[in-house]
Structure 1
Amino acid sequence: MTDEPYSIEVTIAVPVGDVWSALRDPELIRRWHGWHFDGLDKEIEVIYHQNVVESAAEHRLETQGGDLFELTDLDGRTRLRVTRAPRGGDPDWDAYYDDITEGWITFVHQLAFALERHPGADRRTVFLSGAAATPVLEATGLVTVAGLPPASPYELEGPTGETLRGQVRFRSANQVGLTVDGWGDGLLVVAQNPPSPANPGGTAMMVLTTYGLDDAAFAGLESRWNAWWARNFPEATANDQDATAVADPPRGD
């Protein structure tokens, strides 16, 4: 028995050709997909280029796992829809199904943010992930902000002592995305993923995306957030986490 396919949809305020290029050019994909770690280039190759089926004319891309990207031209804007492959085809994929779905939600919003707010710009990221013993929104003090509708302004003292201000960028059932003015108009994604067969206790995750910070400023931000995360989520792994388990979990032969 299979479930009905689950779809993720976002409208991006750039032409469809620009979105298609951002899905096909590895150098452009590096500017929005996931976060930086030693295996990022390999992950991009595996997800977006190995055993995929694509139609440039129709702006359709099917990954080797069966997830389908479809772009629709909306007169200068683009609707991006990702339709998940149904459960039931592969037990290894099924165990990670919910985790992969959450990964795609993060990724499509990263794509939209990068194209709309920072076209052509490189970024630097901090990735934090671990067991969800402590609700991450409570730990960060973002519970109230997470309840605001998209485009709402916010300002608060962040958990590392810096002032965070910007707008609510997006909300989903398990994630919230916030722009952060002080990170060069950056993006903070906070996720509390529910228990799944692959992660029975659930997981907490944060991706901090920055633009234009000098080396000292970025190093300070990275150090503060890693130290805070280690105190609050002691089982966490920071920064060098491989995202492949989210978007491309291991499968049997």
Structure 2
Amino acid sequence: MSDVQATDTPRLEIRVTTTVDAAWRALRDKDVIRQWHAWQSGELEAELDSIYFTDVVEDAENHTLVPNGGDRFEIHEDGDSVRITLVRAPLSGDAEWDAYYDDVTEGWTSFLQQLRFALERKPGEQRRTLFFGNRQTYSGTVVERLELDSAGEPGSRYTATLAGEAIEGEVWFRSEHQLGVTVDSWGEGLLIIAGTGPSSTDPAGTSMALLSTYGLDDNTYSLLDKRWSQWWAENTSK
């Protein structure tokens, strides 16, 4: 089973067709982390330094890592694959920070799927990303407006027209608030639509789109950015 699974602990888990050594390197080598954690921005390098290389607790022999912030990674061999588990840190007791706890959990859900994709489909390759976010539109609504709600189960093929582009690929994963699909024309890239459900802080729910592309020339990448920027502005406002 390859989907990220959340439990009440909360606990997130992926199974990846890779080796324990490769999975561990993906948590300890910044060049590899850069290819799956979050998205490219001016703050990414500082974020990686803070989370993975500042005040961390590392056990290389047992392949466990507690990054800055208190979440815990565990890596275990599991037959012909590797199980990577992230156990979320408990609530901090700071009401202002804890209000975003679910957002962080959903973020880790997306990033773990990007980790699985990088290890299984794109080892050693460089990505270029685009990110769009909105705190007034639920991610499920975005999936519907992209007409991806009819996409099948993980592993199945799909076709769609997204932001004016006819695409096809594979359904990568599903979770309660997220959908991930590969996109053949983005160098077999990955699109994740994610968010959180309605809450006291975000009554309408939240949404984000995270696009990972590979091997696109500058013009193609720029046109993709332009199409998605226009679509997002027109379709994620109340």
The TM-score, its normalising length taken from structure 1, stands at 0.86
Unmatched runs of 5 consecutive residues or more in structure 1: 236-253
Q: Residue 15 of structure 2 aligns with which residue?
A: 11
Q: Matched residue of 1:143: which SS?
A: coil
Q: Residues 73-222 of structure 1: matches in 2 within 5 Å?
A: 73-87=77-91, 89-133=93-137, 135-145=141-151, 148-158=152-162, 160-222=163-225
Q: Distance in 2 between matches of 1:93 and 1:63?
A: 18
Are 1:72 and 2:79 an aligned pair? Answer: no
Equivalent in the alignment of 1:34: 38
Amino acid at match of 2:219: A
Aligned counterparts of 1:60 and 1:34: Cα–Cα separation in 2: 21
Q: Distance in 2 between matches of 1:203 and 1:215?
A: 30
Aligned residue pairs, count:
230
Cα deviation per residue 1:197-248 (whole Å; 9 max; x = unaligned)?
553432111001100111111111111101111122249xxxxxxxxxxxxx
| Correspondence for 1:44 among 44, 48, 51 | 48
Instruction: Check the 8 A contact 2:36/2:118 in 1, yes or no.
Output: yes
Q: In structure 2, the residue corresponding to 1:118 is in which secondary structure?
A: coil
Query: Is the 1:98–1:196 Cα contact (8 Å) retained in structure 2?
Result: no
**Higher relative contact order, structure no. (Cα contacts within 8 Å, ≥ 6 residues apart):** 1
Q: Output the CA distance in 1 between the equivalents of 2:120 and 2:35.
A: 12
Structure 1 runs, 4 residues or longer, greater than 4 Å off? none
Q: Report if the CA contact (8 A) 2:103-2:195 is conserved.
A: no
Identity of aligned residues (%): 44
Task: Structure 2: give runs of 5+ residues left out of the alignment.
Answer: 1-6
Letter in 2 for 1:25: D
User: Is 1:88–1:94's contact at 8 Å kept on the other side of the alignment?
Assistant: yes
Q: CA deviation at 1:180?
A: 0.5
- State how 1:218-237 maps to structure 2 within 5 Å: 218-234=221-237
Residue 143 of structure 1, CA deviation: 1.3
**Cα distance in 1, alignment partners of residues 31 and 92 from structure 2:** 34
1:157 is displaced (CA, Å) by: 1.7
Kindly report the root-mean-square deviation, in angstroms, between the aligned alpha carbons of the 2 structures.
1.8
TM-superposed deviation, 1:65: 2.0
What corresponds to 1:53 in structure 2? 57
- Deviation of 1:133 after TM superposition, in Å, equals 3.4
Gap change, CA 1:196 and 1:62, over 3 Å in 2: farther
What is the letter of the counterpart of residue 73 of structure 1? E
What whole-Å deviation, never above 9, does each CA across 1:152-187 have from its counterpart, x for those lacking one? 1101222x2211211100010000100000100000
User: For the Cα contact (< 8 Å) 2:134–2:236, is it kept in 1?
Assistant: yes
In the alignment, the residues of structure 2 paired with residue 124 and residue 10 of structure 1 have an alpha-carbon distance, to the nearest angstrom, of: 23
Do 1:4 and 1:86's aligned partners in 2 also have CA atoms closer than 8 Å? no
